């Protein structure tokens, strides 16, 4: 190797080592949600959507995850409250980078409030439509403090068109489910089974109630069995007493006859 070539290689190595490393943080330092109601809604929605697609291997469901949509610029970032994307494995992600994963999303829900609804309806809506090409975008305010407090959009030819309510629910073509309020919370309805999906937290509580009911029924059955056994013993003792009295009467009658 010539001295000139060696100097060129050394210069290249120095340039590589001096190149700044782009850092994509996995947290923005902000709280997960504004209020407990927002947090519960976020957790429940992720849980229900993820559970609905549990057996589908290439559907990724997540929430409150930093999503970077321009390589080399960590400021080009957004954090959907709840999102679903096809073609991505279920493995855990620290961040979502569109140049490493699918560059488009299928489904997003933002949990809005008076302090966020302007960005949800303008800046985020523009990013979701034009850059991430989110097929369906929903905005929901758990406290009903903004108007509209619940709205959905579907991407048609690159533009969002509002989804019409059917039976007080918004039908999602992407999920094959319908979104609507039930008992004051946003839930998912399966039109095929005509049942509401419940988060695992609610299912666990229901299972515990059923277990307690079963235990109560078992205790009641045991009490009834003990009571029946007691009555049977009393009846058996009464029969023995009657038979003993009859035996005495017969003996007395025999003595009189003699």
pLDDT in tens, 203-215: 554 545 554 555 6
**Same domain for 168 and 100:** yes
Cα separation, 53 vs 190, in Å, equals 13
Assess if residue 4 is contained within a domain: no
**Same domain for 230 and 172:** no
**Same domain for 99 and 142:** yes
SS3 content of the chain, % helix, strand, coil (to 5): 40, 20, 40
DSSP label at 145? -
Assess if residue 12 is contained within a domain: no
Assess if residue 149 is contained within a domain: yes
pLDDT at 173: 98
Point out the residues of the chain with pLDDT beneath 70: 1-20, 31-32, 202-216, 218-221, 258
SS3 letters for 161-229? EECCCECCEEEECCCCEEEEEECCEEEEEECCCCEEECCHHHHHHHHHHHHHHHHHHHHHHHHHHHHHH
**Same domain for 130 and 245:** no
DSSP label at 129? I
Assess if residue 151 is contained within a domain: yes
pLDDT at 32: 63
Written as six digits, the tokens of 143 are 């406290």
**Same domain for 175 and 230:** no
**Same domain for 97 and 44:** yes
**Same domain for 177 and 209:** no
CA distances from 151 to 121, 161, 180 (A): 10, 11, 10
Q: What is the CATH number of the domain that holds 101?
A: 3.90.1570.20
pLDDT at 69: 98
Full residue range of the structural domain in which residue 257 is found? 200-258
Please give the torsion angle defined by the CA atoms of residues 171, 175, 177 and 180, in that order, rounded to the nearest 10 degrees. Answer: -60
Count of domains observed in the chain? 2
Assess if residue 229 is contained within a domain: yes
**Same domain for 188 and 207:** no
pLDDT at 82: 98
Assess if residue 258 is contained within a domain: yes
Assess if residue 168 is contained within a domain: yes
For residue 51, give the nearest of 153, 171, 175, 172 by alpha carbon: 175
pLDDT at 4: 55
pLDDT at 207: 45
pLDDT at 16: 43
pLDDT at 226: 72
**Same domain for 222 and 110:** no
**Same domain for 157 and 45:** yes
Which residues on neighbouring strands pair with residue 61, listed in sequence order? 84
Assess if residue 101 is contained within a domain: yes
**Same domain for 235 and 123:** no
**Same domain for 221 and 132:** no
pLDDT at 202: 60
For residue 104, give the nearest of 83, 89, 75 by alpha carbon: 83
């Amino acid at each position: 190797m010539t001295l000139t070539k060696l100097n060129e290689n050394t210069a290249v190595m120095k340039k590589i080592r001096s190149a700044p490393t782009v850092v994509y943080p996995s947290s923005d330092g902000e709280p997960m949600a504004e209020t407990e109601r927002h947090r519960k809604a976020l957790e429940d929605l992720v849980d229900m959507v993820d559970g609905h697609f549990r057996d589908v291997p290439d559907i990724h469901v997540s929430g409150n995850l930093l999503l970077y949509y321009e390589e080399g610029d960590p400021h080009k970032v957004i954090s959907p409250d709840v999102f679903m994307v096809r073609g991505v494995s279920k493995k855990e992600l620290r961040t979502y980078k569109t140049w490493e994963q699918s560059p488009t999303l299928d489904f997003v829900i933002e949990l809005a409030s008076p302090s966020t609804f302007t960005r949800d309806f303008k800046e985020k809506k523009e990013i979701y439509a034009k850059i991430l090409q989110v097929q369906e975008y929903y905005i929901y305010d758990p406290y009903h403090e903004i108007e509209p407090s619940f709205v959905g959009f579907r991407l048609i030819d690159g533009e969002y068109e509002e989804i019409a309510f059917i039976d007080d629910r918004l039908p999602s073509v992407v999920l094959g489910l319908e979104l609507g309020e039930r008992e004051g919370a946003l839930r998912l309805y399966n039109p095929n089974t005509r049942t509401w999906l419940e988060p695992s937290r609610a299912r666990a509580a229901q299972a515990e109630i059923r277990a307690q009911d079963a235990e109560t029924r078992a205790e009641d059955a045991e009490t009834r069995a003990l009571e029946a056994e007691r009555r049977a013993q009393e009846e058996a003792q009464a029969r023995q007493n009657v038979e003993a009295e009859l035996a005495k009467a017969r003996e007395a009658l025999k003595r009189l006859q003699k």
